[in-house]
Amino acid sequence: MTIASPLLLDVPEQSREIVEMTREFAQKEIAPHAAEWDSTKHYPAEVMKRLGELGFYGLRIPEEYEGLGLDTLTYMMVLEEIAAADASVSISLSVHNSLPVTMLLREGTAEQKERWLGPMARGEVLAAFSLSEADSGSDSVSIRAQAVRDGDEWVLSGEKTWVTNGDTADLLVIMLRTDTPEERRGAHGISAFLVPAAAPGVVPGKAEDKMGLRASRTTSLSLNDVRLGPEHLLGMEGEGFIYALQALDNGRMGVAAQATGIARAALEHCIRYSQERQQFERPLRDFQAIQFKLADMATRISAARALILEAARAKDRGESVTERAGMAKLFASETAMWVTTQAVQIFGGYGYMRDYPVERLFRDAKVTEIYEGTSEIQRIVIARGLYSD
Ligand code: CAA
């Protein structure tokens, strides 16, 4: 076990057991296939189903709804283990557990929780979260897809983009405008809806051809006059954007854990490679130029993890974590990009080849600086926090 291992951290015994069990499963059932899934753009439906059966769709769902009810700290460590095996699988799980589950737990009525949380915890329902649109990425208040009242019902229309699990989810939590052009209410004119993927008029687009995370599904979503009853509105009308940002505090910690997993995998490959690869009649590990890189990689990974665990502990104490989640995501994602860049360099010519794993990790790392709020958005969030009382 290297110094950069999360298992050396001081965590409760029960958390350690879950993390070790996750590592074993991930290294045996996921990691050996990650390269092939990446190159063939294969969504591992069979592994996702198995993860669902094992309780990974209910990591954050309380036991009363048959979930595992993990605290944030353990949940983060579990995501890191999955990401160290395959970052695509980790984002499919992270989006489900961090965003829709959080929103349902916080804002769902007793009936909505009853309807959705049990099936999620049992692995029967995978969920997606949809906020972005083609013209509304960072500026997410400016979304245009809408839901209009028609008697008791809502009629949903418009186009959404970059939806993780967009065509594999059974439930979509979608943010839509519910104010009229005359009464524009900005952040308070958006509502959240629980949209069954099977509802008539919900049409996912084709899976995007991405730089990395090629084994996760990202699609656009067309809403063609989708008619839903009032029980599909989540929380209060007009407050869906606020709920989405609250959930994104969790999502951003999840992306940070994912980035740390990617970086750790790259470091582990480099530790092995630097012992096997000989140049100038010595293994690479004998060269200080390599040692210094490995030392910096391990240090930054440990620092990223410390930020994530600090945010997770604060979350578990019931504190607001907006800025801490932003710091964790910012630092961990930039660490993942830096570490994987160094890893490609250490592998040299082989690092540039698809036959070696660090090239995929480098591609997978990039999006952690972009989705669930870019690094620039995280800096805005952190800076704003410096001035609040
Ligand atoms: N929790 C709760 N409320 C929050 C909040 C938070 N973390 N952050 C902001 N708010 C509230 C504000 O208090 C404000 O409420 P009031 O109007 O009542 O004061 C409201 O939200 C609007 O906030 P701002 O005035 O700060 O709005 P803004 O437009 O200036 O900035 C932003 C908001 C921080 C830039 C925000 O738009 C943002 O985070 N953008 C990035 C969006 C994002 O992360 N998108 C990723 C989508 S998910 C994804 O990537 C796909 C996937 O499947 C992985």
| Ligand 1, CB cutoff 6 Å, lining residues | 95, 129, 131-132, 138, 140-141, 162-164, 187, 242, 245-246, 248-249, 322, 371-373, 377, 380-381
Q: Which of 250, 321, 302 is nearest to 59 (CA)?
A: 250
* Integer Cα distance of 384 and 301 in angstroms: 26
Atom in ligand 1 nearest the alpha carbon of residue 139: 37
pLDDT bin (cut points 50, 70, 90) of residue 3 is: low
pLDDT bin (cut points 50, 70, 90) of residue 8 is: low
Instruction: Please count the helices (runs of H) and the strands (runs of E) in the chain.
Output: 12, 10
Topology agreement, domain 6-121 and domain 242-385: no
Is-above-0.95 flag for pTM?
A: yes
What pLDDT, on a 0 to 100 scale, did the predictor assign at position 2?
65
Percent of the chain with pLDDT over 70: 98
* Integer Cα distance of 335 and 252 in angstroms: 15
pLDDT bin (cut points 50, 70, 90) of residue 1 is: low
* Catalytic choice (53, 111, 372, 376): 372
Nearest CA to ligand 1 atom 49: 372
Q: pLDDT tens-digit profile of 262-282?
A: 999 999 999 999 999 999 999
What pLDDT, on a 0 to 100 scale, did the predictor assign at position 133?
98
Identity of the residue numbered 380: I
- Quick one: which H or E segment has residue 173? strand 171-177
User: Average pLDDT, whole number, for the chain?
Assistant: 97
* CATH, range 6-121: 1.10.540.10
Q: pLDDT tens-digit profile of 104-161?
A: 999 999 999 999 999 999 999 999 999 999 999 999 999 999 999 999 999 999 999 9
Longest dimension (CA), the chain: 79
Identity of the residue numbered 359: E
Q: How far is the CA of 120 from the centre of ligand 1 (A)?
A: 26
Nearest CA to ligand 1 atom 53: 164
The answer to whether 372 is a known catalytic residue is yes
What pLDDT, on a 0 to 100 scale, did the predictor assign at position 5?
72
Domain boundaries, the chain: 6-121, 127-238, 242-385
Mean pLDDT on 17-40? 97
Residue 147: alpha-carbon gap to chain centroid: 26
Atom in ligand 1 nearest the alpha carbon of residue 188: 17
Q: How far is the CA of 385 from the centre of ligand 1 (A)?
A: 13
Say which CATH topology domain 242-385 has.
Butyryl-CoA Dehydrogenase, subunit A; domain 3 (1.20.140)
For helices 87-98 and 45-53, give the axis angle rounded to 10 degrees: 50
Percent of the chain with pLDDT over 90: 95
Say which CATH topology domain 127-238 has.
Butyryl-CoA Dehydrogenase, subunit A; domain 2 (2.40.110)
Q: pLDDT tens-digit profile of 172-230?
A: 999 999 999 899 999 999 999 999 999 999 999 999 999 999 999 999 999 999 999 99
